[in-house]
Amino acid sequence: MVVFSLWVINKAGGLVYQRNFADGLAPLTSNEYLVLAGTLHGIHAITSRLSPMGSSSGVQVIEAETFKLNVLLTVTGTKFVLLTSLADTNADSILQKVYDIYADAVMKNPFHTPEMPIRSEGFDTRIGLLIGTGQT
């Protein structure tokens, strides 16, 4: 099980946090990451509108040939995205813990402006402790 990368997307579709852990992903510039996050936000909106069985919370997992992309949507509209290997089974629990850490280290930090990029040492440290190098 490998965790490649973590993204946090704000409710407007902007990428506010992006961090790579294990090697293996194609290297992209920060601008390209922003575009991809915006696109994912759009795809998420489409999937939640398309649902045939009433309301839906939108896409949760996108599987590709070599990796999968797990999405956790919070009630406030913030999205946590975890890029992992296909074999990974505990992405959901990692995302839930990331959300916990986000609530503690970001939302309770007076020096963070909501919806803006996350620059908080506490968040970085605790995410580092949680995921480490991404190999489990």
Partner 1 sequence: MAYAQPHPRLSVVSNSSQSSSTDHLSPTTSTRFSLPSAPSLHAPSNKAGPNRPNIYDRNLNKTRGAEVSSAAFAFLFSEIIQYTQKRVSGINDLERQLNTLGYRIGSRVLELMIWRAEGSSKAPKREIKLLSVLVMIHAQVWKAVFGKAADAIERSVENPDEYMIIDNDPPIERHISVPRDMSQLSCSSFTAGIVEAVLDGLSFPARVTAHNTPIAQFPNRTTILIKLEKSVLEREELLK
Residues near partner 1, by CB under 8 A: 104-105, 107-111, 119-123, 125
Cα–Cα distance for residue pair 51/49, rounded to 1 Å: 6
Residues 134/43, Cβ–Cβ less than 8 Å: no
Q: Which is nearer to partner 1, 45 or 107 (CB)?
A: 107
Q: Which is nearer to partner 1, 57 or 125 (CB)?
A: 125
Phi, psi of 109 (to 5 degrees): -95, 120
Shortest separation between residue 100's beta carbon and partner 1, angstroms: 11
Residues constituting the chain = 136
Shortest separation between residue 75's beta carbon and partner 1, angstroms: 17
Shortest separation between residue 98's beta carbon and partner 1, angstroms: 15
Q: Which is nearer to partner 1, 26 or 75 (CB)?
A: 75
Q: Which is nearer to partner 1, 109 or 136 (CB)?
A: 109
Shortest separation between residue 125's beta carbon and partner 1, angstroms: 8
Structure tokens at 52: 């045939």
Structure tokens at 24: 């293996």
Where helices occur in 1-136 by DSSP H, the ranges are: 30-50, 91-101, 121-131
